[in-house]
Amino acid sequence: MCRNHARDIVDTDKLVRDHCDNTKSSSDVHLHSHRHGKVVHKHPHYHPPAKKHVDAGDEKQHQHTHAYSFEVYSYADSAIHRLDARTKTVSFVALILAIVLTPASEVWRFLLFMLLIGSLYTTSGVPLSFGIKRSLIIIPFVAFAGLLLIFMPDKPHPSMYEFGFASFPIKHGGIFILFNALIKSWLSILTVVLLYSTTPFPKFIKGLEMLRFPRPITMLFAFMYRFMWVLTDEIKTMIRARDARAFGMKRNLQHMRVIGQMIGSLFIRSYERAERIYIAMQSRGYSGTVNTLDTSVLTRQDVIFILLFFGLLIAILTWRF
């Protein structure tokens, strides 16, 4: 059974659809939906004939997980998700630049940025709570650096804040710098979370390549993405092997030594795997550059989005009362 979907017109999708049309095979292309928590995802989906669906009303549902937790929303569907990876990358990087370039004193501009980011989240269907939860990771770093600034002596207008038993010199400029760092980094991270929650990582990398990003760096990203979990699995195996034999081991110096040895052997394993991968690459004609086909095309929606988005950014940056 083949049901076509005119969405996500990437050539590779067409490959499967054509295959279905031509062979009338049992390979199944259909609109598919599954849940992550409360969010329902719908996207074109392919199946080997052997895997069966459980029908749930009109929409077919079945168990399906995305391997990485950061990808939970990447494969959902929305106007933002449907945009080309390049469009999103360029727009969102521009947004981050705009945020960073805004003077901290003009707080209302940040409110506008917040509004913009909020509406992007709403359009994309990625829950804002997910973005906020993910973005909190940046706070300790910035807060730690910023807190030191607060207590630096403030020459022109030293002012003391009294907390009952003690008094601290707190620099007004310092608080300002802390606010500056916090708001900018937080909004930037919210934007980054939005970018990776609306763009599957392989498409993001392909987008970077098509934007003429240096190949070695995109390859580094690609390898990281591909082998992150392979390595994690190897670590898990090693930890299991250790735990199977290390019962009763105390958390002392000896324990530290075991961890050190594990890190060492993980390094050797990765090194050897890298060598095997290199041989596999050479066997398929690798000669110094990794070439992949460009598969996505910019649509009218992309152009409209970019024009609107940059217009908005310029408006927020230059508007005066």
Partner 1 sequence: MREIIKARNLTYKYPDGTEALKGIDITIRSGERVALLGLNGAGKSTLLMHLNGTLRGEGELEIDGLKMNKANLNKIRSIVGLVFQDPDDQLFLTTVFDDVAFGPINQGLDQNKVMERVKDALEAVDMLWAVNKSAHHLSFGEKKRVAIATVLSMKPKILALDEPTSNLDIKGCKSLESLLINLEQTIVIATHSLDFAWRVCDRSVILSSGEIIADGPTRKVLTDEKLLTSIDFEIPLSALLNKV
Q: Least distance from C-beta 83 to partner 1, angstroms?
A: 17
Beta bridge partners of 12: none
With a CB cutoff of 8 Å and minimum separation 6, the contacts of 212 are none
Q: Least distance from C-beta 293 to partner 1, angstroms?
A: 6
Beta bridge partners of 36: 39
Using CB under 8 A, pick the residue from 4, 7, 10, 93 that binds partner 1: 10
Task: Round to whole Å and give the CA distance between 77 and 126.
Answer: 10
Using CB under 8 A, pick the residue from 240, 284, 300, 320 that binds partner 1: 284
Span of 46-54, 110-118, 171-179, 244-252 interacting with partner 1 by CB under 8 A: 46-54
Sheet holding 39-47, edge to edge: 39-47, 28-36, 59-61, 54-56
- Per-residue burial over 113-124, b if 16 or more Cβ lie within 10 Å, else e, is beebbeebbeeb
# residues contacting partner 1 (CB under 8 A): 41
Task: Round to whole Å and give the CA distance between 89 and 81.
Answer: 12
92 near partner 1 (CB under 8 A):
no
Span of 4-12, 32-40, 179-187, 255-263 interacting with partner 1 by CB under 8 A: 4-12
Q: Look at residue 67 and give its three-state secondary structure.
A: coil
Q: CA 93 → CA 124, 217, 221, distances in Å?
A: 17, 17, 17
Span of 32-40, 191-199, 218-226, 247-255 interacting with partner 1 by CB under 8 A: 218-226
285 near partner 1 (CB under 8 A):
yes
19 near partner 1 (CB under 8 A):
yes
Of residues 229 through 258, those in contact with partner 1 by CB under 8 A are: 229-230
Residue ranges in contact with partner 1 by CB under 8 A: 10-13, 15-16, 19, 27-28, 46-48, 66-67, 201-202, 205, 222-223, 225-227, 229-230, 273, 276-277, 279-287, 290-293, 295
